[in-house]
Amino acid sequence: MEKIVALSLLTPFYVAQAAHRVMRTQEGGGSVVNIGSVSAHTPQPGTAAYTAAKAGLLALTKALALEWAPTVRVNHITTGLIRTESAASVYRADGGAAVAGVIPMERMAVPEDVARACLFLASGLSGYVNGADLPVHGGGEFPARYLAAKAAGGPG
């Protein structure tokens, strides 16, 4: 549990503090973008430490956004399922097709989806965005009751 909290909450906090020390003195300030998870909003069984850490990261983002404005902006990206090579074994033989079926965009994110959101939040295009939580999760997941009704031939 301590390692999960250290990796998912404390490390981003320490990195943000180091970045802030530099950004607060430079012309134009800067932007910190924290990468979170849908788990901060919707816990899953067996993920209590991860969920708590990611919820803490979201709260930390909002707190730092208040403290460091107007010089340094701090924002958060809530990611959903991301198709990566290292996660491929989790998605079984169908390569994630069944998982993608519960996402409104009908696919898992790829790392480039998250990278583009980071670039937006770090750029001047989002110069007035501070303390935001940008969902990059393809619309989330369909509710279980919707999927059950659809599978039973109902109006889903």
Contact 3, 61 (CB under 8 A): no
50 in active site: yes
Other C-beta atoms closer than 10 Å to the C-beta of 93 total 6
d(CA 56, CA 5): 9
Which one-letter DSSP state was computed for residue 108? -
Contact 114, 81 (CB under 8 A): no
Across the strands, what pairs with 31? 73
Active-site annotation holder among 50, 91, 128, 146: 50
Phi and psi at 133, nearest 5°, equal: -120, 100
Catalytic positions are 50
